[in-house]
Amino acid sequence: MNYAFGAFSRREAFELLDCPRCSQTHTLSLLVTVVKRQVRFGGPVAGQRHFDIEWTCPNTGEMFAFPVSVEQADDESVQAVAVDSEGAAVLPPPSWLEAARGDAQKESLIVARDFVATMLTTSLGAAPVYFAVVKYLTAKRVSPPVWLAIPPAVLFILAAALFALALRPQSFEEMDAEDFLDNQKRRVRILRRRTDLASVVFLAAVVSACSALSWTLTH
């Protein structure tokens, strides 16, 4: 005798090949009710359990019975098998597809973050370099006016701040596994938007630095 200590249901995909009513293949979701039990020496062993299931073909509307086999681990006892109420249920995409999709997103996130990290360092270093060049050039020349000399440095620092903001981890309220891919997509989108803005500011800084330096060289 086995002592049952918990019943639960799990879903299993089932391919009904060559339907006896419409001759097509139906992909069904089976609801398998299982009772967990203690493993007893000499008790029933793991294996397959066979059930006959009645189901209505959605194409012809005719009922028929078909046999299914479900796996039974040695610590469980399969009690019942039924077609999920949704009938030909929508099954989740295979896990390898999810994994591949997740990997692709993770990779694009890594590439984007690498770029942002490099640009953050570059922007931060650009302001002092710019000032050093201006100082060097104006040693024997006229200094550029403040309105021309200051903006490049401010823009470089602003660009660095924006790149840093893009790198900041974003927290989302819902973090269950189901939402993970959506979150990942959203994260990439937000990172892209912030990176684009920071890049524009960085380019503006470069252009204004060139203007300031060329002013210095021509005066």
What residue ranges bind Zn ion (CB under 5 A)? 19, 21-22, 57, 59
Our CB check for Zn ion shows the closer of 16 and 116 to be: 16
Our CB check for Zn ion shows the closer of 21 and 36 to be: 21
Contact call for residues 145 and 208 (beta carbons, < 8 A):
no
* Sequence-ordered list of residues with C-beta below 8 angstroms from that of 109, at least 6 positions apart, any chain: 184, 187, 188, 191
Smallest distance, Å, CB 94 to Zn ion?
Answer: 23
Cα 49 from Cα 52, distance rounded (Å) = 10
Our CB check for Zn ion shows the closer of 59 and 214 to be: 59
Our CB check for Zn ion shows the closer of 19 and 166 to be: 19
Smallest distance, Å, CB 61 to Zn ion?
Answer: 10
Smallest distance, Å, CB 66 to Zn ion?
Answer: 10
DSSP the chain: ---EEEEEEEEEEEEE-S-TTT-S-EEEEEEEEEEEE---TTSPPSEEEEEEEEEE-TTT--EEEEEEEEEE-TTEEEEEEEE-TTSS--PPPPHHHHHHHHHHHHHHHHHHHHHHHHHHHHHHHHHHHHHHHHHHHTTSSPPPPHHHHHHHHHHHHHHHHHHHHHHSPPP-S---HHHHHHHHHHHHHHHHHHHHHHHHHHHHHHHHHHHHHHHHHH-
Smallest distance, Å, CB 26 to Zn ion?
Answer: 6
Our CB check for Zn ion shows the closer of 57 and 198 to be: 57
Smallest distance, Å, CB 85 to Zn ion?
Answer: 18
Smallest distance, Å, CB 25 to Zn ion?
Answer: 9
Our CB check for Zn ion shows the closer of 75 and 84 to be: 84
